[in-house]
């Protein structure tokens, strides 16, 4: 079937990720440097995924094994394939390596692994412009376009004629402010033909992908530009300074989006979102907080300063006090409504707290469930435990859940009171309504309603003198 302007062709995506990134001065390939807690390339793949491509071809070179592993972990393997660019001979050469994986029935969208913040909607608009066999370029006007290829247009109608790289440009051409961002969409059959004409007779001795624009014009193929006005979407990363600058721009936009939805931020310049943060109404977040993975904050949640929260669901009207670390990981952490957590508390993977639970300073909870109204307010550890309702867990008490080879569970039934400095040696069950006297080591199940004390008899020796140092 002949492609028309109304026919949507199959989409393939090429991601150029072969660069070493010398200016990064890092062992990591450039595409694996992290922005907002994720590799740069992961942001690019996330933007491309909603476009429903048939395949994604990643061109690798430096650190290829690491790049490919991250790509598989990010995207999955069902639509991925890899092309190797062993020699760094330019962007045109990179796309040439991808050609064996592309079919002529497709439009190909060419992206760079180090340009992480292009919006999916922008890519959709570029693809729409490429319909009907056109070559579509993503461009941007910059006041200071130094370092970028310039888009040269015809006088009068403004038709795109070619792109000239800065090192090959005349002084007059360098005054042009419209630059090529490195992102294009092209019909594969035509691109294959154009790439066959590339030569490295330029200032850098490389095969420029941008030369295909001139070949398309010479053939009479329409070349169109989708010019955006948001430089962040086209910003690449070549140095630690550029990476840090882009991080701040990204975080500021995240903060602005939160505030637009009604979230109160003590200082929008001091928040880091390294994943997804969803907030209800009347949420307040103090300074220097970091959110990782998938985090949801219910209505009225208050987050104190210097907290780190990863993969957690926080119920409404809960207060997270300063310096609390919630470390959800794959299992996640669930905190109910009207909880008070911290300061200096740590909730580890598998922690599940019901409503009105208190976890105080220097208390650690791991893989444990706490029932409604239970409290562990000071200097305590609960690991692999099931805690009922209304339990008071004393300062300095711990569950000894690990025997050196296996983990065991502690069950603390409703309304139990555990005194200070107790050791509960799992597996053990404390019966409902019971009390454990301070300083006890519990190795056997306790009866409901009973007082259980297990400690050595106190002995006092009158008139005892401490040893003294012997004189030399």
Could you tell me how many residues make up the chain? 472
The separation between the first and the last C-alpha atoms of the chain, rounded to the nearest angstrom, is 104
Query: What integer is the mean pLDDT of 272-290?
Result: 98
- For residue 105, pLDDT beyond 60: yes
Are 262 and 315 found together in one domain?
A: yes
Are 279 and 323 found together in one domain?
A: yes
Q: Is residue 457 part of a domain?
A: no
- For residue 293, pLDDT beyond 80: yes
Q: Is residue 54 part of a domain?
A: yes
Structure tokens at 413: 């039934």
Gyration radius from the chain CA atoms:
31
Of 202, 234, 266, at which residue does a domain stop? 234
Are 145 and 174 found together in one domain?
A: yes
Alpha-carbon torsion (450, 453, 457, 460), positive or negative: negative
Of 209, 234, 259, at which residue does a domain stop? 234
Measured CA to CA, the distance from residue 15 to residue 82 in angstroms comes to 10
Task: State the pLDDT at residue 239.
Answer: 94
Q: Is residue 446 part of a domain?
A: yes
Sequence-distant (6+) residues with CB within 8 A of 91 are 16, 182, 206, 207, 208, 209, 210
The CATH number of the domain holding residue 18 is 3.90.550.10
Q: Is residue 3 part of a domain?
A: no
- For residue 258, pLDDT beyond 80: yes
Are 300 and 316 found together in one domain?
A: yes
Query: What integer is the mean pLDDT of 289-318?
Result: 98
- Residue-wise pLDDT for 185-220, tens only, equals 999 999 999 999 999 888 888 899 999 999 999 999
Of 210, 234, 258, at which residue does a domain stop? 234
Are 223 and 245 found together in one domain?
A: no
Are 379 and 267 found together in one domain?
A: yes
Task: State the pLDDT at residue 2.
Answer: 40
Are 223 and 176 found together in one domain?
A: yes
Q: Is residue 4 part of a domain?
A: no
pLDDT, mean over the chain: 94
Are 169 and 259 found together in one domain?
A: no
- For residue 289, pLDDT beyond 90: yes
- For residue 69, pLDDT beyond 90: yes
Are 186 and 244 found together in one domain?
A: no
Q: Is residue 2 part of a domain?
A: no
Containing structural domain, residue 369: 240-452
Sequence-distant (6+) residues with CB within 8 A of 57 are 12, 13, 14, 15, 81, 82, 83, 98, 101, 102
Active site amino acids: 378
The number of distinct structural domains making up the chain is 2
Are 226 and 264 found together in one domain?
A: no
Q: Is residue 462 part of a domain?
A: no
Q: Is residue 303 part of a domain?
A: yes
Residue 178 binned pLDDT confidence (cut-offs 50, 70, 90): very high
- Helix, strand or coil, per DSSP, at residue 49: helix
Task: State the pLDDT at residue 8.
Answer: 67
Measured CA to CA, the distance from residue 402 to residue 425 in angstroms comes to 9
Are 252 and 351 found together in one domain?
A: yes
Are 222 and 284 found together in one domain?
A: no
Residue 330 binned pLDDT confidence (cut-offs 50, 70, 90): confident
The CATH number of the domain holding residue 270 is 2.160.10.10
Measured CA to CA, the distance from residue 429 to residue 442 in angstroms comes to 9
- Residue-wise pLDDT for 135-163, tens only, equals 999 999 999 998 899 999 999 899 999 99
pTM above 0.75, yes or no: yes
Task: State the pLDDT at residue 169.
Answer: 93
Measured CA to CA, the distance from residue 333 to residue 348 in angstroms comes to 7
Task: State the pLDDT at residue 1.
Answer: 36
Residue 460 binned pLDDT confidence (cut-offs 50, 70, 90): very high
- For residue 166, pLDDT beyond 70: yes
Question: pLDDT above 70 covers what percent of the chain?
Answer: 98
Task: State the pLDDT at residue 5.
Answer: 43
Residue 7 binned pLDDT confidence (cut-offs 50, 70, 90): low
- Helix, strand or coil, per DSSP, at residue 292: strand
Q: Which has the minimum average pLDDT: 249-253, 326-330, 410-414?
A: 326-330
């Amino acid at each position: 079937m002949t492609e028309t302007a109304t026919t949507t062709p199959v989409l393939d995506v090429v991601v150029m990720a072969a660069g070493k990134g010398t200016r990064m001065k890092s062992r990591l390939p450039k595409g694996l440097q992290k922005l907002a807690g994720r590799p740069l390339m992961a942001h690019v793949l996330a933007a491309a995924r909603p476009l429903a491509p048939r395949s994604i071809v990643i061109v690798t070179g430096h650190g290829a094994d690491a790049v490919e592993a991250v790509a598989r972990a990010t995207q999955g393997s069902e639509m991925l394939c890899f092309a190797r660019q062993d020699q760094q001979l330019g962007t045109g050469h990179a796309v040439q390596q991808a050609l064996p994986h592309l079919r002529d029935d497709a439009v190909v969208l060419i992206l760079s692994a180090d340009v992480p913040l292009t919006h999916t909607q922008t890519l959709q608009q570029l693809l729409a412009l490429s319909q009907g066999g056109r070559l579509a370029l993503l461009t941007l006007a910059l006041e200071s376009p130094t370092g970028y290829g310039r888009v040269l247009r015809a006088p009068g109608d403004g038709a795109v004629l070619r792109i000239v790289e800065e090192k090959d440009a005349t002084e007059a051409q360098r005054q042009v402010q419209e630059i090529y961002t490195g992102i294009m969409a092209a019909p594969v059959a035509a691109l294959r033909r154009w790439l066959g004409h590339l030569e490295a007779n330029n200032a850098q001795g490389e095969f420029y992908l941008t030369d295909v624009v001139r070949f398309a014009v010479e053939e009479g193929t329409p070349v169109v530009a989708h010019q955006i006005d948001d430089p962040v979407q086209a910003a690449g990363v070549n140095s630690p300074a550029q990476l840090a600058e882009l991080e701040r721009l990204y975080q500021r936009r995240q903060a602005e989006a939160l505030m637009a939805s009604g979230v109160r931020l003590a200082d929008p310049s001091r928040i880091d979102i390294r994943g997804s943060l969803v907030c209800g109404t009347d949420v307040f977040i103090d300074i220097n907080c970091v959110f990782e993975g998938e985090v949801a904050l219910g209505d009225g949640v208050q987050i104190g300063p210097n907290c780190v929260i990863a993969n957690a669901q926080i119920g409404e009207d809960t207060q997270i006090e300063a310096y609390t670390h919630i470390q959800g990981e794959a299992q996640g952490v669930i905190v109910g409504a009207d909880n008070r957590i911290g300061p200096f508390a740590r909730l580890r993977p598998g922690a599940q707290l019901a409503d009105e639970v208190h976890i105080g300073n220097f208390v650690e909870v791991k893989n444990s469930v706490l029932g409604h109204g239970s409290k562990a307010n000071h200097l305590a550890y609960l690991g692999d435990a099931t805690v009922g309702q209304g339990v008071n867990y004393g300062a300095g008490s711990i569950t000894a859940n690990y025997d050196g080879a296996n983990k065991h569970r502690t069950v603390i039934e409703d309304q139990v009171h555990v005194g200070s400095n107790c050791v509960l040696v799992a597996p053990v069950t404390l019966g409902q309504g019971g009390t454990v006297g301070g300083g006890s080591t519990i190795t056997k199940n306790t009866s409901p309603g009973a007082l259980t004390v297990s400690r050595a008899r106190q002995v006092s020796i009158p008139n005892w003198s401490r040893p003294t140092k012997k004189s030399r």
